Amino acid sequence: MRTSLNEIKAIDDHVLKLAPPDDALLFEAKLIINPALHEQIVLHKQTLSMVKQYGRNNLKTEIEAVHQKLFSQVEHQSFRQKIMRLFGKR
């Protein structure tokens, strides 16, 4: 089954609760009439979850790269010392 961009937008607005009240009510009615729409919602939620996790993993990778650069390269030694003084044992 081919889903149109309008249907994807309606599902996305429903899942993210971005639809205006009248559109939300119409979508709820469509959900009652069309049981296959429920499956599309489940798949859409799974897709959003995977995209979110992918973004988190990329952010962690970027943060780790910056950490390695700041705490291993000689030219960042003064910054590293300042950080260590801020968070060192008191």
Confidence at residue 88, expressed as pLDDT on a 0 to 100 scale: 79
H helix or E strand, kind and range, residue 78: helix 77-87
Encode pLDDT of 31-79 as tens digits.
999 999 999 999 999 999 999 999 999 999 999 999 999 989 999 999 9
Structure tokens at 43: 């798949």
Report in angstroms the alpha-carbon separations of 25 from 19, 80, 86: 9, 56, 54
Domain boundaries defined on the chain = 5-87
Confidence at residue 90, expressed as pLDDT on a 0 to 100 scale: 57
Confidence at residue 75, expressed as pLDDT on a 0 to 100 scale: 92
pTM of the full structure: 0.73
